[in-house]
Amino acid sequence: MQHKQMFNPVARELEMVEGNLKQNINSGVDVLNQASMHLIKAGGKRLRPAFVLLAARFFMDSLEEIIPMATALELTHLATLVHDDVIDNSTLRRGTYTVKHQWGNRVSINAGNYIFARALALSASYNRKDILEVLADASMRICEGEIYQMMSSYNVNVGLKNYLRRIERKTALLISVSCKLGAMLGNAPQEQVRALELYGYYLGMAFQVTDDILDFVADEEVLGKPTGSDVKQGVITLPAIYALHHSPYKIELKRLLASPIICAENSDQILEIILDSDGIEYAYFITEHFARKARKQLDYLPDRPVKETLYEIADFISARDY
């Protein structure tokens, strides 16, 4: 199964989001439009819009009025990516050059701010204070997460708890908010809003752990960036944390990961130690744990065809042939 198939029940609406994303890039400045369009066209799975739509689908037949919200969530996500590329000084994302690489810091920072302001305008169109408060709160917590990420780089003493907090802010939060906002716009009862919020949270956690596994095991071509790029940049994800605690070479690994220079010079050896540990296996176990928790939340939701889709997504995320 491909991502695309997973989202079949909202495929038509996702195409509308795609068009809406492009329509919303209409500043008076060409270079800002070019940079933003580059970012949009670089692709991505449009997970966040998909979850807004799928969550709303429980409560609504026509999703037309959900399109602006779904678009706003993707724009919010893209705004964080373009800022991240400035912070990390990245050259490549999803196999194409970053906005930062092609246009520099000024254009990247302003493209991010412009796109986020667009997301805000789209969200404001619902005239619902509760929607905007959820979005503002999520934005603040994402910023906090960026700082946790910084404080954990090359820190060989980080444990599972620190890792989970980081991926919560990095990924789970916005997927959770996507599900929540879809339910809110569908005027779902409060406990069903909460169930979808938690479904999104656990699914987002599972998704990010899987993503961190793929960074170690997938081909460069699939990733659009070199295999092992996280650990090469001192980002210590779950397989590395496991190896740091349980590998027979953990003392050596600690030494190699603790400094940017030593880390960069020994990336092959670092990858070998991590892959030889049970770190990948352990990470798959954690993914399955979160996918199970996501599935469980679906008990609280009404029986609609879309429920089956959400079960399938949880299964897909934790499948090892991902």
Residues at the contact surface with a second copy, assessed by CB under 8 A = 27-29, 31-32, 83, 86-87, 105-107, 109-111, 113-114, 116-118, 120-121, 124-125, 127, 129, 132-133, 135-137, 139-144, 146-148, 150-151
Nearest approach, Cβ of residue 75 and a second copy (Å): 12
- At position 43, the amino acid (one-letter code) is G
Looking at beta carbons only, is 135 or 195 nearer to a second copy? Answer: 135
Nearest approach, Cβ of residue 29 and a second copy (Å): 5
How far apart CA 91 and CA 70 sit, in angstroms, is 28
**Which phi and psi angles does 12 have, rounded to 5°?**
-65, -40
Looking at beta carbons only, is 40 or 107 nearer to a second copy? Answer: 107
How far apart CA 151 and CA 146 sit, in angstroms, is 9
Nearest approach, Cβ of residue 99 and a second copy (Å): 13
The secondary structure of 222-269 as a DSSP string is HHTS-TTHHHHTT---HHHHHHHHH-TTHHHHHHHHSSHHHHHHTHHH
How far apart CA 130 and CA 142 sit, in angstroms, is 18
Looking at beta carbons only, is 54 or 72 nearer to a second copy? Answer: 72
- At position 233, the amino acid (one-letter code) is Q
How far apart CA 256 and CA 235 sit, in angstroms, is 13
Alpha helices, DSSP H only, in the chain?
Answer: 3-6, 11-23, 30-41, 47-57, 67-87, 99-124, 129-152, 160-167, 173-185, 190-217, 220-223, 229-232, 238-246, 250-257, 260-265, 267-276, 279-297, 305-318
Nearest approach, Cβ of residue 180 and a second copy (Å): 16
**Which phi and psi angles does 70 have, rounded to 5°?**
-60, -40
Nearest approach, Cβ of residue 316 and a second copy (Å): 32
DSSP 45: -
Nearest approach, Cβ of residue 104 and a second copy (Å): 9
DSSP 64: G
Looking at beta carbons only, is 77 or 295 nearer to a second copy? Answer: 77
Looking at beta carbons only, is 79 or 238 nearer to a second copy? Answer: 79
Looking at beta carbons only, is 35 or 313 nearer to a second copy? Answer: 35
Q: Which are the contacts of 314, defined by CB distance < 8 A and separation ≥ 6? A: 203, 206, 291, 292, 294, 295
Number of other CB atoms surrounding residue 248 within 10 Å: 11
Looking at beta carbons only, is 150 or 222 nearer to a second copy? Answer: 150
Nearest approach, Cβ of residue 144 and a second copy (Å): 5
Nearest approach, Cβ of residue 243 and a second copy (Å): 26
Looking at beta carbons only, is 145 or 279 nearer to a second copy? Answer: 145
